[in-house]
Structure 1
Amino acid sequence: MDFFNTAVGAVNDFLWTYIIIVVLVGCGLWFTASTGVVQLRALPEMVRLLAGDLGRRPSGRKAISSFQAFCVSTASRVGVGNIAGVAIAIVTGGPGAVFWMWVIAFIGTATGFVESTLAQIYKIPRGHGMFHGGPAYYIQNALGQPAVAKLFAVLISVTFGLIYVSVQANTIALSLEKAFSIDTWVTGGILAVLSGAVIFGGMHRIAAFSSLLVPVMAGIYLLIALIIVIMHIDAVPGMFALILHDAFSPQAAVGGGIGTVILTGVRRGLFSNEAGEGSIPNAAATAHVTHPVKQGLVQAFGVYVDTWIVCSATAFIVLLTGQYTIGGDTTGIALAQDALASAFGPWASALLAVLIFLFAFSSVVGNCYYGEVNIPFFGGDTQRLLFVYRLSVVVMVFFGCIAALNLVWNLADLFMAMICLTNLYAIARLAPYARLALTDYFAQKAAGRNPVFDPAVMPDQRGITAWGDDQMHAQRHEG
């Protein structure tokens, strides 16, 4: 197993050093420029759309609102990457890695807008006001490349439904073991049963579960971080100075120098906010809105929430309490628990274990859906495959609880690299359609109308099936 782990790490180093970072940042900068820096100029509209949808109920018995779709994606985003991942980044790359996490989030917001808008344009109606879609759908229906679509479907099902699920479960098990001395195999059994109860309930139950849990758990965690910031308010300016200094002049303890700092920040930032991976579009496509850009902007704002707010909260907790050691043995969730215990006492470690359970469990549920929606691309008996897939997710939950930390994180990085390359290829080719939709949206806004999407604005309407006259009439007064 050690040999396998080492081999996976070597492949990751090559992919991330020479390929992924170039493609990811290059696409993000292109999307930023071509959309007119949408992540800044449309920021007020992002907030307005999200706030305006909080209490809205779409028509359709099982229809998913814009806010519910946002919560499903946030449930996937906001998980162990925001806590354990940030702690790992600081130990591996030093405080400067936090700066590069911020940078990749800013660039990734434009990428997130493009991929989520495309998912809405090319979503598929399912009846009762429900939709599904994502990269596999726009690759097959818009690009006309079914083989690439099937490749993506396999990659995302394995990556999110199996590999990422094991990462989330691993962190839950380690945090509960540290806080309550619960054996990892016991946690694995309990977590597997709970996961199965929600997962086998389908998308409607997942959306309801996420929209209830995500705001509560995020609010509690941010409140804890705010209290720590207030307790160490005198050290805050020095903390920001340290982050900025070490981003370009890393401490000697960081092996590999500035390259390690940047790569660590990009890896952990991408794992957390998922911009460009092609995961978030699967949730974005489910939303019942009047214009694709509405959900594109809402999901883009999710990148900010994830990295600039939740990830920053963890970074502030770790850096202000001073419990970290660059290159040290204590890392991941254990470091975050030690940081909170130093500020509030031993009971805080137990509180974080409970929060981690909620964060990671919601991610397990959200990640499972990303695989589910791509099962039809496998061919064969979809219902039987779906049952086998859900059962496999439950098994991987148990496996993740008893597996070694380094192995599950290395596998996550490897599959994240492969899924990024596949999705970025697709959205780079389809990005002009997202830009046309953005122009149409703000033109309607300027005319004083609630934007409603008409496929006629697209020069090529191939693959657009959810935006015909009947669908537009049904949604005209929504959103």
Structure 2
Amino acid sequence: MVDFLDKVSGFVWGPPLLILIVGTGLYLTFRLGFVQITALPTALINAFTRRKQDKLSEGDITHYQALTTAMAATVGTGNIVGVATAVIAGGPGAVFWMWVMAIFGMATKYAEAVLAVKYRVKDAKGEMAGGPMYYLERGLNAKWLAILFAIFGSIAAFGIGNMVQANSVSAAASNTFNIPTWVTGIVLFIITAIVILGGIKSIGRVTAYLVPVMAVFYVFGGLIIMILNVDLVPTAFNIILTDAFTANAIGGGILGTVIRYGVARGIFSNEAGLGSAPIAAAAAKTDYAGRQGLVSMTQVFIDTIIVCSITGITIVMADLHQTGIDGGALTSESFAVFLGTPGMYIVGIATILFAYSTLIGWSYYGEKCFNYLFKSTKAITIYRTVWVFVVLFGSITLIDIVWLFSDIFNALMAIPNLIGLLGLSGVVAYETKRFLKVAKEEKAAEKKAKVS
């Protein structure tokens, strides 16, 4: 069964899907006039400030909380393990292609959020509900695709969002602090129940504090390494850029070995195109879909351009990627080369925080997919209850088959979502033009007010 699922995973995540994801990002980039570049400064300002108008707008949580909830689900083991496996399998040049994927992925993430807000609805509890299942049904008039996405999303959440993350937390706690896995499992069971049983408002409050702390902690550790070894940084960049255009990159298969692993791990890390993050974006208090779109696209910038770069550059500087060390251990050993034991602690603690944040973020994604299928408050209660018990099970044991199921269902989520993005790209373009006009008028009004 494992061999069979491994082949299925390799097939669904093959060149056709990777080309579709990259192609969608490229198409949206040109159709939206490179909005991810021209509007990035404005996006970052909107992400970390709260406007008076936002308080009066419909939604459950602030722009910032919606961003951190999505960041919590996205900044996970992919930023530590995923980058390491990309460098091992594809070489240092894979980091460059992760950056390229991030640039186009920002346009994809922007479009997902715009559609999520545009087609969101209020559920039976009076909370906002949105995401691919809603814009596929209400925008594209393809309810069958919406149902497929909801099925794939609710199942995938238990794999990549629950068991895999819970196991990563317990493994990191065991390897770094010698804490028994069953102890970690019980603690995770309790704190996860406390957070997720309170719904999106509770999750938003927790991630608003957790995400910046964990991101700054890890990034600060990486920056210390770069500052103390600044002479190695230019060499690392040179290796990454040179290796990105080697024979393997150009001729190693349809996409090339280096490109394929860079693109695949970039998607695994920032989730642009999977359709998960717009579920959180739909809950934001916002007056224009485009405004939340800008906020959401900063997630890819922070996740890949900042956090993943710390991992990738440190690994290349340490030059251990050809020694046979696997996955997260490579990142840990690379930090230890420069900081000794404290470096291993930094990676261990970051792994625990990253994995746990993903666990609570994905609980909301899975819950909303499940609620779309059954439209019942009782269904949500059942889903949350099962979720916390699966956390306990995943902390103690993880079957290899779970990883494979997770990979397969993530790919299956992406397909209907990408169809929706391409089919509704005209709506995204219209909403973008409409919002940018308003944003320009707001900026002019602010400037006039300052002068007067």
TM-score (norm 2): 0.91
Aligned residues: 444
CA distance in 2, matches of 1:378, 1:450: 45
Check 1:450–1:183 CA distance in 2 against 1; reply closer, same or farther (3 A cut). farther
CA displacement at 1:255 relative to structure 2? 9.2
Counterpart of 1:385 (choices 379, 382, 397) is: 379
Corresponding residue number in structure 1 for 2:448: none
Q: Which moved more, 1:98-107 or 1:315-324?
A: 315-324
1:179-328 matches, within 5 Å, as: 179-249=176-246, 259-325=256-322, 328=324
Q: Deviations over 1:256-276 (max 9, x none)?
A: 797332222122111111111
Please state whether the residue corresponding to 1:373 is helix, strand or coil.
Answer: helix
Indicate conservation of the 8 Å contact 1:89/1:265, yes or no: yes
Corresponding residue number in structure 1 for 2:353: 358
Counterpart residue identity of residue 176, structure 1: A
CA distance in 2, matches of 1:371, 1:108: 22
Q: Which moved more, 1:390-399 or 1:120-129?
A: 120-129
Corresponding residue number in structure 2 for 1:428: 422
Please state whether the residue corresponding to 2:128 is helix, strand or coil.
Answer: strand
**Structure 1 position 38 matched with structure 2 position 35:** yes
Counterpart residue identity of residue 436, structure 1: Y
Corresponding residue number in structure 1 for 2:102: 105
CA displacement at 1:154 relative to structure 2? 1.2
Counterpart of 2:70 (choices 67, 73, 78) is: 73
Indicate conservation of the 8 Å contact 2:102/2:305, yes or no: yes
CA displacement at 1:396 relative to structure 2? 3.2
CA distance in 2, matches of 1:324, 1:398: 33
**Structure 1 position 163 matched with structure 2 position 160:** yes
CA distance in 2, matches of 1:338, 1:276: 32
Corresponding residue number in structure 2 for 1:17: 14
Of all paired residues, the percent bearing the same amino acid is 36
Corresponding residue number in structure 1 for 2:441: 447
Q: Deviations over 1:280-305 (max 9, x none)?
A: 11011101111110000110111111
Counterpart of 1:375 (choices 353, 370, 373) is: 370
Q: Deviations over 1:376-428 (max 9, x none)?
A: 32227x23322232233223323433445854443332122111111001111
Indicate conservation of the 8 Å contact 2:57/2:286, yes or no: no
5+ residue gaps in structure 1?
A: 452-479
**Structure 1 position 339 matched with structure 2 position 330:** no
RMSD: 2.7
CA distance in 1, matches of 2:113, 2:440: 23
| Greater helix fraction, Structure 1 or Structure 2 | 2
1:171-182 matches, within 5 Å, as: 171-182=168-179
TM-score (norm 1): 0.86
Check 1:56–1:209 CA distance in 2 against 1; reply closer, same or farther (3 A cut). farther
CA displacement at 1:34 relative to structure 2? 0.5
Counterpart residue identity of residue 389, structure 1: Y
CA distance in 2, matches of 1:97, 1:45: 29
CA displacement at 1:198 relative to structure 2? 1.2
Corresponding residue number in structure 2 for 1:467: none
CA distance in 2, matches of 1:399, 1:99: 37
